[in-house]
Amino acid sequence: EIVAAIESYFGKGAPLAGLRALVTSGPTYEAIDPVRFIGNRSSGKQGHAIATALARAGAAVTLVCGPVALPDPAGVKVVRIESAREMLAACESALPADIAVFAAAVADWRVAQEAPQKIKKPAEGGAAPTLSFAENPDILASIAGLKQGRPALVIGFAAETEKVAEHAAAKRARKGCDWILANDVSAGTGTFGGDANTIHLVTENGTEDWPRLTKQQVAERLAARIGDHFGKKTT
């Protein structure tokens, strides 16, 4: 930490000094009632690693994260939320930013009518309940589509199980973001909850296939790639 702070102070190894970054990480939880919720299996490892790498590269980082079992990264402002709607509000509050990386696994749907009291088990032989869902806000598309205050570089993730690069390019166009980090999460790849990731970076110039890397290496490579991007733009 001290070395990092000194490097940052003297501008060495701080290609992102002076830039503000917003990163999301982890799952969202959508409440069914005060006790039950719908969650997903995102560990937050990749998003937290990206927040750490951007901070080490000199950026001022706000990390908006759902319920994870990870410690807060050092030198990062952490905002903890639960639901997708809370995540969107926290992201909006974290603007302005130059860089936004949306690594969280946001629930597409929330329960249409959250119960204010615990839903009781019906009497013997009673009917099991049914849940209806409402669509959640699309955080990536919302921030990428801002007319005012859009971050200069908006980066999304795509978790795909087939035709990874093709689906990711379509997602990039549909969401209006600049880059997509696409990975294959099909069963057996061990990406969910695991420590490694095989990334395809989709930009306006096409697709870069990265080798299989640890999530920390993915984060460091992304931070370097972002540094190159802003370096090119300012020269």
Closest by CA to 25, choosing from 59, 51, 56, is 51
CA dihedral 20, 25, 31, 37 (to 10 degrees): -170
Q: Which stretch binds its own copies (CB under 8 A): 56-64, 87-95, 122-130, 226-234?
A: 122-130
Q: How far is the CB of 190 from its own copies (least distance, A)?
A: 13
Q: Does 129 bind its own copies (CB under 8 A)?
A: yes
Instruction: Report long-range pairs for 169-174 (Cβ below 8 Å, ≥24 apart).
Output: 169/202, 169/207, 172/202, 174/141
233 is a contact residue toward its own copies (CB under 8 A):
no
- Options 40, 136, 197, 205, the catalytic residue: 40
Would you say 6 or 112 has its CB closer to its own copies? Answer: 112
Nearer of residues 3 and 127 to its own copies, judged by Cβ: 127
Least separation in angstroms between CB 75 and its own copies? 24
Residues 19-58 vs its own copies: string with x where CB under 8 A? ----------x--x-xxxxxxxx-----------------
Q: Does the footprint of its own copies cover residue 102 (CB under 8 A)?
A: no
Q: Show the CA angle centred on residue 139, arms to residues 114 and 216, nearest 5°.
A: 110
Which of 225, 199, 215 is closest to 16 using CA atoms? 225
Give the distance, in angstroms, between the CA of residue 201 and the centroid of all CA atoms in the same chain: 15
List 69, 71, 204, 206, residue binding its own copies (CB under 8 A):
69
Q: Is 173 in the site for its own copies (CB under 8 A)?
A: no
Report if residue 144 touches its own copies, rule: CB under 8 A: no
56 token code pair = 């080490």
DSSP summary character for residue 63:
E
Distance separating alpha carbons of residues 112 and 114, to the nearest angstrom = 6
The values of phi and psi at residue 198, to 5°, are -115, 115
Positions marked active-site:
40
Binding site for its own copies (CB under 8 A): 29, 32, 34-41, 69, 105, 107-109, 112, 117-118, 121, 128-135, 159, 161, 185, 187, 192
